[in-house]
Amino acid sequence: MSGASTATRRCGVETRRVQRWTTHRRTVGLARDELRAALAEWGLSAIEEPAVLVLSELVTNAITHAFVRGRDIETSFCRGPQGVRLAVDDADERHHPQRRPPGEAGGRGLVLVEELSDRWGCRIRRGVGKSVWAVITVPGGRWL
């Protein structure tokens, strides 16, 4: 299910894992497994639950709302001194994440992202698409 590339890069005090995925619903579970492995390796299991939930929402949103035929999505996990920065990149520049009132048809995802992360946002990528990111830190920590 994973696609073209997997990489681990070290930059400064951070370690970064990047994975490209097909836009299929099974990708959500596979991305969660990849994040769990990274957090365990980095000694950040204390934030596994909120990080996995946030990642699930971001990947689901990319697959559901930002699908571009023939394009994959990419996840990246950056380890910082006090936590992890998650990012999900997709090829859709037109649809940015927006909070909706919770209802029968959803609308709870970004509320959950806001509650579980220290901060989150969206930026246009160089080239094509956007990157939706969130920072989750250990209790009492902060992202420097």
Question: Per residue in 7-63, pLDDT tens?
Answer: 444 444 457 899 999 888 899 999 999 999 999 999 999 999 999 999 999 999 888
Residues 92-140 pLDDT 10s: 877 777 777 766 566 678 889 999 999 999 998 887 889 999 999 988 7
2-137 is a CATH 3.50.50.60 domain: no
Instruction: Please give, one letter per residue, the 3-state secondary structure of the chain.
Output: CEEEEEEEEEECCEEEEEEEECCCCHHHHHHHHHHHHHHHHCCCHHHHHHHHHHHHHHHHHHHHHCCCCCCCEEEEEEECCCEEEEEEEECCCCCCCCCCCCECCECCHHHHHHHHCCEEEEEECCCCCEEEEEEEECCCCCCC
pTM of the model: 0.83
